[in-house]
Structure 1
Amino acid sequence: MGKNTICLWYDGTAEEAANFYASVFPDTAVTAVHRAPSDYPSGKAGDVITVEFTVLGIPCVGLNGGPMFKHSEAFSFQVGTEDQAETDRYWDAIVGHGGEESQCGWCRDKWGLSWQITPRVLTDAMAAGGEEARRAFAAMMPMRKIDVAAIEAARRGDQTDA
């Protein structure tokens, strides 16, 4: 385990979540599964208690801590994408696997963890500042999954029928 590792709390599903992330994202892998040496408040000896994994190269540990704590939007993974196809692939994997859509490129996976699927065109527009950023931001606000073509049109100042 690295010096700084993100610990994510699960209710007995850390291994399932880690395996799902590894099936969806590049540079993502399950690196270790640890079983409880004895009974504990939310499980029994031999149950999976922690799972070490990476998400897009970021070291994480999933802790099967029980039902006491839930994920919230206060923590999310922001995944930068290069185009609509990559945006669609990640969004559809998360939402289509029991997750749910939210606003402005945010979605939640079936375990309640929040993800921001953010095309580079949007972050570039925001970094540009001024009118370009304002137009891109206004275009993004009503979106759920980000529409790359609509953000590109907003950056250029193209009029839309919306």
Structure 2
Amino acid sequence: MARNTICLWYDKDAEAAARFYAEIFPDSAVSEVFHAPTDFPSGKAGEVLTVTFTVLGIPCLGLNGGPMFKQTEAFSFQIATEDQEETDRYWNAIVGNGGQESACGWCKDRWGVSWQITPRVLTEALAAGGDEGRRAFTAMLDMGKIDVAAIEAARRG
């Protein structure tokens, strides 16, 4: 087990979520599925209790903890993309499989986990600062999924 692992609380679908992430993102996999040895507060003996997986190389543990706690935007995966094609692929996979669009490159998957699908051109523009950063930031504020061409145009002024 990794020394530092992100633990994500799911109602009951940790394995389905982990397998979905492993299908979408490179350097992602489901490594182990643990079944409960006895009944537990939100399930029965033999049901999936935890799933260990990676998302883009980040070690995670999915816990089927029941409906007590919900996902919020206070935690999100930020995925840096190289171009519009990659941005579209991840965004469409998440939103198109029961997810929900949000603003400024954010979306949620069907389990409520938040994702920031962020093209590198946007983070580079913001890092540049000044008028270039301000123009790119202003353009981003009107977007759901980030439009790479619009960000590049805003950078140029």
Q: TM-score normalised to the size of structure 1?
A: 0.96
Q: Could you tell me how far apart the structure 1 residues matched to 2:89 and 2:134 are? A: 27
Q: Secondary structure at the match of 1:94?
A: helix
Q: How does 1:47-126 map to 2 (within 5 A)?
A: 47-126=47-126
Q: Secondary structure at the match of 1:122?
A: helix
Q: Secondary structure at the match of 1:123?
A: helix
Residue by residue over 1:82-109, the C-alpha shift from the partner in whole angstroms, topping out at 9 and shown as x without a partner, is 0000000000000000000000000000
Q: Secondary structure at the match of 2:39?
A: coil
The count of corresponding residues between Structure 1 and Structure 2 is 157
Q: Secondary structure at the match of 2:124?
A: helix
Q: Could you tell me how far apart the structure 1 residues matched to 2:40 and 2:86 are? A: 41
Query: Counterpart in 2 of 1:142?
Result: 142
Superposed CA RMSD in Å reads 0.3
Q: Following TM superposition, where does structure 1 have runs of at least 4 consecutive aligned residues deviating by more than 3 angstroms?
A: none
Alignment gaps of 5+ in structure 1:
158-162
Alignment gaps of 5+ in structure 2:
none
Query: Counterpart in 2 of 1:129?
Result: 129
Q: TM-score normalised to the size of structure 2?
A: 1.00
Q: Secondary structure at the match of 2:133?
A: helix
Give, as a single letter, the amino acid of the residue that structure 2 aligns with 1:16: A
Give, as a single letter, the amino acid of the residue that structure 2 aligns with 1:118: T
Equivalent pairs: percent with the same residue? 75
User: How much does 1:128 deviate?
Assistant: 0.4
Give, as a single letter, the amino acid of the residue that structure 2 aligns with 1:123: T
Q: Could you tell me how far apart the structure 2 residues matched to 1:23 and 1:90 are? A: 11
Query: Counterpart in 2 of 1:160?
Result: none
Q: Could you tell me how far apart the structure 1 residues matched to 2:16 and 2:66 are? A: 15
